[in-house]
Amino acid sequence: MAIQRYDEASIRVLKGLEPVRQRPGMYTRTDNPLHILQEVIDNAADEALAGYGNHIRVTLHADGSVSIEDDGRGIPVGMHPEEHAPVVELVFTRLHAGGKFDKKAGGAYAFSGGLHGVGVSVTNALSRRLEVLVWRDGAAHELVFENGEVSSPLRELERVGRRRTGTRVRVWPDPKYFDTPVIPMSELVHALRSKAVLLNGIKVALIIEKTGETREWQYQEGLRGYLDEALQDAEKIIPLFEGKQYAAEDDESFAPGEGAQWVVAWTADGPVVRESYVNLISTTAGGTHEAGLRDGLFNAVKSFAELHALVPKGVKLLPEDVFARASFVLSAKVLDPQFQGQIKERLNSRDAVRLVSGYVKNALDLWLNANVEYGRKLAESAIRQAQARARSAQKVEKRKSSGVAVLPGKLTDCESSDPARTELFLVEGDSAGGSAKMGRDKEFQAILPLRGKVLNSWEVDRDRLFANNEIHDIAVAIGVDPHGAADEADLSNLRYGRICILSDADVDGAHIQVLLLTLFFRHFPRLVEAGHVYVARPPLFRVDVPAAGKRPARKVYCLDQGELDVVQEKLRSEGVREGSWSISRFKGLGEMSAEQLWDTTMNPDTRRLMPVSYGELGMEATRQMFDMLMGKGESAQRRHWLEEKGNLAEVDV
């Protein structure tokens, strides 16, 4: 059997914008070109956010190109002192080049959505042609790219008045990189309208050349006007609650200017409207700033209800009771936001929970106690939601009452019996199980510690499964009997809505994950199909960053070496002195304190939980992969696979 060559010549170094063209899905959405256009729109919005410019104009040209124009400062056109190329050229041709890394006082952008420096360079990489026109320093300057390369170098076109500043970028997206070249009009309109909402008084226009149509948005009332328009005639339980607060220069917890602006409406019926933004970037998948809003609203309403003795005996208010009928628009400003992935759909910054929650709770506390009648109405609405939830849980309990099994002795159960809320953590080792028990939220999180490695159950008959104590305990704890892919499994007795595999972030932990995933795929496939199985992702590293200026000391957790490298590079770009931070490597979950385990791995607001599914391959291909990896008689096939794929492994020695 020929063994594939793997030597020095096998290593290929991708340069310039080539990585983007090779793997566009890593950098942007590839279903249509809207996201690469949004990168340019976001840059124009960042200029307005920084206090420059009064308009953003987007034109859909008849030839399929799109131009975005603003009246900001204009991208610098002078030579870069180190790279010896015009700055505007670097911005469009180099990954990790941009004005948004400079967060120091006096930096070009204190708050912005662009963080990675791969924004408009990705736009250029995936376009057939891109033209940049910059008005700056009393002149108009033009630069043209074709297929990501400079085709017409930067040149001065004409002299203009010194007050004439701004940038116009015209893009011809290359259709070969996208599923469809058609830009979804509704999504584009939503993106532009939201910029007008968040930038009070800024005029945003959309011009469609084919039809001659022009649409303009300008909201003097900002968030309030937008939410009112979105809710239309829905009946509101209380008037809109709105506010904003930003950290002052002497704030000891947050950087000056960090904070949030929000408007919240509680409606009696109809759909809820929920939109959130970080530094003007739309976070459609929510994140930690939304978690902070929910936490702040809940704590304020709960405090008010308890102060006025409104909660009936036996009723327990939960965050979802307050949040169920809440519509909101939230706009947070975070100095160094951490997003999930380059497309920035979800905010991951842990500090944002505390930032938004604190400001919202204080504001709502004051508002409710100044408007007691409205406070009572809101509290009563939340109490009704709690009572309805309790009644629903009781119905479920009655249906599950027959055939009760004795729960495993080592299971630390939770108080709630509502599968829509409950979670079971299958934890590697007794010491980690102890930390998890202390760190969990006992209201809805249960812990089942596992001793050693679970049996490889791929070729174990179903009627022999319970001979293994660990598998027996897992099956009894979750309340579902083992079944096959073709069986009609009864999930009505399922005790936990989420079953989370929690193991060390090392090779042994990965092995335990695979053994448990084998068990669920082979003997509990309906749980996987219904989306009940998850893998918790604990961090491998902790970075302790010392206090600097007014910024307090902080801890940053990293999942792996790649994330650690990114964090260290970011600290250097922030001006933190090299070597002043310390790095700790967790040998295992047992090393983490209860507080650390809660903050990084178990807290629903700040953890990273990965849902388990069959993915693009589908069930049959997944079964074949498991057969090759876990089957006792498949050693030859495994060897062949390892020889072919072994060089892709990240070895932990």
| CA pseudo-torsion sign 367, 371, 374, 375 | positive
Is residue 55 situated within a structural domain? yes
Query: Torsions phi, psi of 59, nearest 5?
Result: -120, 125
Give the DSSP letter string of 545-569: EPPBTTBPPEEEEESSHHHHHHHHH
Give the DSSP letter string of 222-260: THHHHHHHHHTTPPBSS--EEEEEE--TT-SSS-TT-EE
508 is annotated as an active-site residue: yes
430 is annotated as an active-site residue: no
CA distance 475 to 414: 17
| Category of 286 on φ-ψ map: left (φ > 0), alpha (ψ -120 to 50) or beta | left
Same domain flag for 135 and 198: yes
Is residue 416 situated within a structural domain? no
Q: Tell me the sheet residues that pair with 423.
A: 445, 498
CA distance 58 to 67: 6
CATH number for the domain that contains residue 272: 3.30.230.10
User: Which one is catalytic: 336, 418, 508, 591?
Assistant: 508
Q: Is 387 helix (H, G, I), strand (E, B) or coil?
A: helix
**Burial of 352: CB neighbours in 10 Å, binned 0-12, 13-18, 19+:** buried
Structure tokens at 427: 């934890």
- Could you give the number of structural domains in the chain? 2
CA distance 339 to 137: 35
| 402 pLDDT above the threshold of 50 | no
Neighbours of 255 (CB within 10 A): 23
CA distance 249 to 414: 43
Mean pLDDT, the chain, whole residue set: 84
* Span 366-377, average pLDDT: 95
Choose the final residue of a domain: 217, 251, 278: 217
Question: How do 326-333 and 274-278 pair as beta strands?
Answer: parallel
Residues of the domain holding 338: 223-394
User: Which of 18-22, 34-38, 588-592 has the largest mean confidence?
Assistant: 34-38
- In 3D space, the residue among 284, 300, 295, 279 whose CA is nearest the CA of residue 605 turns out to be 295
Helices (H), 126-244: 185-198, 223-231
Q: Tell me the sheet residues that pair with 455.
A: none
Is residue 303 situated within a structural domain? yes
User: Which one is catalytic: 242, 258, 365, 428?
Assistant: 428
Is residue 24 situated within a structural domain? yes
CA distance 629 to 632: 9
Choose the final residue of a domain: 359, 394, 429: 394
Same domain flag for 262 and 358: yes
Same domain flag for 256 and 339: yes
pLDDT tens figures, 620-640 = 777 788 888 888 777 788 787
Same domain flag for 246 and 124: no
**Considering all CA atoms of the chain, what is the largest pairwise distance in Å, rounded to the nearest integer?**
86
Query: Torsions phi, psi of 647, nearest 5?
Result: -70, -10
CATH number for the domain that contains residue 59: 3.30.565.10
Same domain flag for 69 and 160: yes
Confidence of residue 617 (pLDDT cuts 50, 70, 90): low
CA distance 127 to 24: 12
pLDDT tens figures, 437-481 = 999 999 999 999 988 778 888 888 877 888 888 888 899 999 998
| 265 pLDDT above the threshold of 90 | yes
504 is annotated as an active-site residue: yes
Choose the final residue of a domain: 196, 217, 238: 217
Q: Are 403 and 427 in contact (CB under 8 A)?
A: no
Same domain flag for 191 and 260: no
Is residue 327 situated within a structural domain? yes
CA distance 278 to 48: 15
Is residue 457 situated within a structural domain? no
Same domain flag for 310 and 190: no
pLDDT tens figures, 69-118 = 999 999 999 988 887 789 999 889 887 554 444 444 444 445 544 433 35
Same domain flag for 123 and 170: yes
What does each C-alpha distance from 480 to 291, 428, 495 come to in angstroms? 32, 21, 8
595 is annotated as an active-site residue: no
Question: What confidence score (pLDDT) does residue 213 get?
Answer: 93
The secondary structure of 418-475, three-state, reads: CCCCCEEEEEECHHHHHHHHHHCCCCCEEEEEECCCCCCCCCCCHHHHHHCHHHHHHH
| 244 pLDDT above the threshold of 80 | yes
Same domain flag for 180 and 267: no
Same domain flag for 257 and 186: no
pLDDT tens figures, 129-185 = 999 999 999 999 999 999 989 999 999 999 999 889 999 999 999 999 888 899 999
CA 469 to chain centre: 38
Can you give the pTM of this predicted structure?
0.68
Q: Are 440 and 602 in contact (CB under 8 A)?
A: yes
Same domain flag for 211 and 233: no
Is residue 587 situated within a structural domain? no
What does each C-alpha distance from 74 to 134, 141, 469 come to in angstroms? 6, 10, 68
pLDDT tens figures, 6-24 = 555 544 445 567 777 777 7
Is residue 504 situated within a structural domain? no
Q: Are 498 and 553 in contact (CB under 8 A)?
A: no
Same domain flag for 61 and 79: yes
Structure tokens at 268: 């009696």
Question: How do 203-208 and 139-146 pair as beta strands?
Answer: unpaired
pLDDT tens figures, 528-585 = 999 999 999 898 888 998 887 767 788 888 888 878 888 888 888 777 888 899 998 8
Neighbours of 395 (CB within 10 A): 9
Question: What confidence score (pLDDT) does residue 5 get?
Answer: 59
User: Which one is catalytic: 506, 529, 591, 634?
Assistant: 506
